[in-house]
Amino acid sequence: MHSRAMAAAVLSAALVVPVRSAAAAANDDATLLRVFLTDGTSLVSYGEPARVGDRIIFSMPTAAIPNPPLQLVNLPAARVDWDRTNRYAATARTTHYVETQAENDYAALSNDVALTLNAVGHTTDAAERLALVERARKTLADWPQNHFNYRQAEVRQMLSLLDEAIADLRAARSPGRFDLTLSAFADPPTIVEPLLPPPTPVQAIEQVLAAARAVDSASERTSLLATAVATIDSEIDALPADWAESTREETLAAVLAELRIDRTYQSLTARTMTLANRRARLADVRGLERLLREIPQRDAALGAQRADAVKALVTAVEAKLDAARQLRLARDRWALRAPVLGRYREAIRKPIDLFALLKPSLENIKALSGSPPAALAAIQLNVSAILTLASAIAPPDELAAAHALLISAAQLAGNAAEIRREAALAGDMARAWDASSAAAGALMLGAQARTDIQTLLRLPQLR
């Protein structure tokens, strides 16, 4: 049959495939890609660069040696020609595939198709023969786009032969009917980005210096410059002497200049934050606003060379300004409430002083060091006075919680004295420990109440 002749032709073509040796397949190195900048220059990337938001991040080899040391580079996406970078990566991936795996994959494809067509030759059922050939055709049609279009011309030749075989098989199954299937192939437009050779030792160092000029982070720039100096020192024997000496001297000078700029901006930050802290404590809103206006002026005077440091400084001063505004509001409220707060201060003084008299006796109960009857009676008497006085006071809203805390402390002190009396009468050590716990709680709550009341009665301060 004509279809069998076609199958034999395809089989013959498919079998002429060289197989790449295992030794060659094992010789795979990491692909050196390129990140192209908008000015037309490029930087070597060890493996795929990554785009994260508005940043391009990649690892750059800093020396032209096997398994080179790598430096992480972080560039703004606006500095990178991403289309050209992607085209180069596609070319590199295709080249790497062709050099390492393509022949093995194509041989596997050819063998698979050959086995299928061989089965066609031994099958008498027309429907089964058609299904086998159509399955082989689908495998061939899908293969190029998943394998970097490798050997696309040969695959098309085989597809044409299979199409003829399929037409014959369909005609044989349905005499008198004509079924024509046309297959059109259109290559996607491809812009080839030529591969560049691996960098020489000099070019590897120049790449690091180029990256230092491209990054927008001062700390990363300094790190790249220092890496270039270190690479020159470690690879000195592989570099032209005059070039190495002059480049090292220039790069080291650049590192020292960057460090001087860092110190200048650190000094600016320290001075500015000292002023900001002082003005915030004074609730000097206007002073902080002036300080914010001065920062860009001082930055411009220094050459505007540390955008990150200035941004962080502005953020810190703005936080101080917000705190100063809140403090000013609190002080204005305190001033309006001063008459009410003053009356409360006078009224609460006596209860607080009475609670302070309880401290020695409560400490004795807490320590289980002895509590004479007179001491227990004095506690109960003072607690009664504190509760009577405090209950008669209507605290301002802002002092209600602290006032309630003082009352709780007094009640707990009375409980401690009563439990201690019960423990002494019964000779019950467990109850004595209960009294100790109550006394400790009363002391803690009383101290907290006193602190809270005094704080709320004072002019508000910056926390």
Residues of the chain with pLDDT under 70: 1-30, 173-191
Q: Where are the alpha helices (DSSP H) in 302-395?
A: 307-336, 338-367, 373-391
CA dist., res. 301 & res. 274, Å (int) = 20
> Which of 198, 204, 249, 254 shows the shortest CA–CA distance to 225?
254
- State the pLDDT at residue 22: 35
Looking at the DSSP bridge assignments, the partners of residue 436 are none
Query: What's at 441, amino acid-wise?
Result: G
- CA–CA distance, 74 with 59 (Å, rounded to integer): 9
Cβ contacts of 251 within 8 Å, gap of 6 or more: 209, 225, 228, 229, 232
* Dihedral sign (CA 124, 130, 135, 138): positive
Question: Which residues is 50 bridged to in the sheet?
Answer: 57
pLDDT for residue 458: 95
pTM above 0.75, yes or no: no
Ramachandran assignment for 427, one of left (phi > 0), alpha (psi -120 to 50 degrees), beta (any other): left
As a residue count, the chain comes to 463
Strands (E), 53-130: 55-61, 70-76
pLDDT for 187 equals: 54
Has domain 338-457 been given CATH number 1.10.357? no
Task: Tell me which residue of 74, 71, 75, 72 sits closest to 227, measured CA to CA.
Answer: 71
